[in-house]
Amino acid sequence: MIKKKIVFAGNDIAKKLGIFGKAFKKSGYKTYSLAWFPKKTGSFCDEYIVDHHDLFHKVSKIKRTYVYLKYLFRLFILAFSYDVFFLSWPTMIYEIILLRLMGKKVYAIAAGNDIRDYDLDEIVNIYYDKKEDPKFYGRKKLKRNRRTAFFWGLFATKIICARNGTLSLYRQRKKTVDIIGYNFLKKSSVTEVKYNKAKRIKMVHAPSNKGTKGTKYIREAVERLKEAGYDFDYIELTNVPNTKVLEELKTSDIALCQVFMGGIGTFAHEAMNNGCMIVAYVLEFVRKRYKVPVYNVTIDDIYERLVYVLENPEIIAEYQRKSLDYFDQYIEESVAVKEFEEKLDLN
């Protein structure tokens, strides 16, 4: 079977465009990655419209429009050589229409918050109003995101979920496909359970947004545990390179992910890859649908639930094994490519 030629283009969020391209290339696809600009922490796409992050963010609207038009032109040229296009959020509607008119399959890669139905989220998630900034994109951007999701639903071939586990909370659900292995992570060197009763238990928390991850409540629980005399290490990481996060995960027993969002994302997947026990708040229907191996906590019971873990540490080894198995079954990059092929009919 001749495999399709694929372009990954747009905003290189978390270096996804290059990661996607490399993963599909390993599986025999011809790929090309086109980003607006390189990330400050480094990127590895095939081409950038501008060669520096600030050249996009610190210029006038006129120059930014020029950059976008240049990007649109490059997509037009690539459409003569490639068959399938994955466009990363915040995708404009114009390139989708252009590529669809040229007969191409176009998949919009959503970041999650751009198509999330916050009104429904507020009903389903009982802890929604406890977030320090629940609608953290602001009302104006929220309205724009809903408009974008509407047009995606009209013109895109499919919308790809960037965060697995919350599909039923998304707008344009009929057009949206949830990919569990979305992060295309390579298998780490950790292959066995790490828990050792002779060593101090180590917990790590690395919030991308403290307000929406519930860092305040996680800190309070950790402080109460320390005051109660429980012996363990706690590491909190913010504004550090991803390599530092991965380094800490390799030697951590427990990953404290979040207590608000209701699903799991990149940090949880990276923690599973490094054999950590996942502690998070995940909605019940999400746990059942995806069989996520998470030790569930809420802001109401996180302290008591962690007390149980510290007093019954053998449970850590049990969840570490589940994390490693779940990663191998659903998240590892070669498995993720197969999931994309099956759910999106790429060939």
Q: Could you tell me the pTM of the whole model?
A: 0.82
- Mean pLDDT, to the nearest integer, of 318-329? 96
- Mean pLDDT, to the nearest integer, of 169-195? 79
Using the structure block, give the residue that is written with the tokens 């047009």.
151
**What integer pLDDT is reported at residue 112 of this predicted model?**
60
Using a 10 angstrom Cβ sphere, with 0-12 exposed, 13-18 middle and 19 or more buried, the burial of residue 51 is exposed
SS3 143: helix
Q: Where in the chain is the domain with CATH 3.40.50.2000?
A: 201-331
DSSP 8-class letter at 213 = H
The closest alpha carbon to 83, from 295, 327, 346, belongs to 346
**What integer pLDDT is reported at residue 240 of this predicted model?**
87
**What integer pLDDT is reported at residue 113 of this predicted model?**
56
pLDDT tens per residue across span 138-147: 555 566 666 7
- Mean pLDDT, to the nearest integer, of 214-218? 92
Assign 167 a pLDDT band (cuts: 50, 70, 90).
very low
Residue 13 has pLDDT above 90, yes or no: no
CATH architecture of 5-185+332-344: 3-Layer(aba) Sandwich (3.40)
Question: Contact at 8 Å (CB) between 107 and 344?
Answer: yes
Q: What interhelical angle do 314-326 and 266-273 show, nearest 10?
A: 110
The domain 201-331 is placed in CATH, from the list 3.40.50.2300, 3.90.950.10, 3.40.50.2000, 3.40.50.720, at 3.40.50.2000
Residue 136 has pLDDT above 50, yes or no: no
**What integer pLDDT is reported at residue 169 of this predicted model?**
45
Cross-strand partners of 116: 170
Q: Where does residue 211 fall: left (phi above 0), alpha (psi -120 to 50 degrees), or beta otherwise?
A: alpha
